[in-house]
Amino acid sequence: EIAYARTVVSIGMHKSFLPAQSFQYNMLKLAKPSVAFSSDDRHEVKHFITKEDIIILFTAEGESAKDFINEYKEKDIPIILITMNEKTTIRKYAKHMIWLPNSRNQNMHKYLENQVFFLVFVDLLTSYVAKELEKGEKNDDLNQLRNVTG
């Protein structure tokens, strides 16, 4: 879905903005239209978003995104929630939810920065999207060849 969306909108709540921004940069490297918003400026999304776009919401706990989710839950715009809280109440409004580990949900007593988990996942997700985009290009080339040769 990310590979075939018109625009990828990544939103990071608080400290999760860095992974959202990293994902935006990765998508732009793949020539995929993308934009990142922080929790402060996320309200600008409503000015351009359509059903052809996709929202990727990065939030460690999920609950801080309730207001944003409430704005979009009735608009039929796909939302992918990437969170470290498998019990967040907003999960029911996401088309897909990806639950990531962190030091708390893995019962680690030492503190680890949660952004690290998000950033590693962003690279894995980027790699997957790149492969999907490559498949799409090969299919497009094959279809063009079929059209030329009849």
pLDDT one-digit tens code per residue, 17-46:
999 999 999 999 999 999 999 878 888 888
| Residue 10 · residue 34 · CB < 8 Å | yes
Cα separation, 10 vs 18, whole angstroms: 10
What is the pTM assigned to this prediction? 0.84
Task: Write the pLDDT tens digit of every residue in 78-103.
Answer: 999 999 888 888 898 899 999 988 76
Cα separation, 81 vs 124, whole angstroms: 16
Tell whether the model's pLDDT for residue 142 goes beyond 60.
no
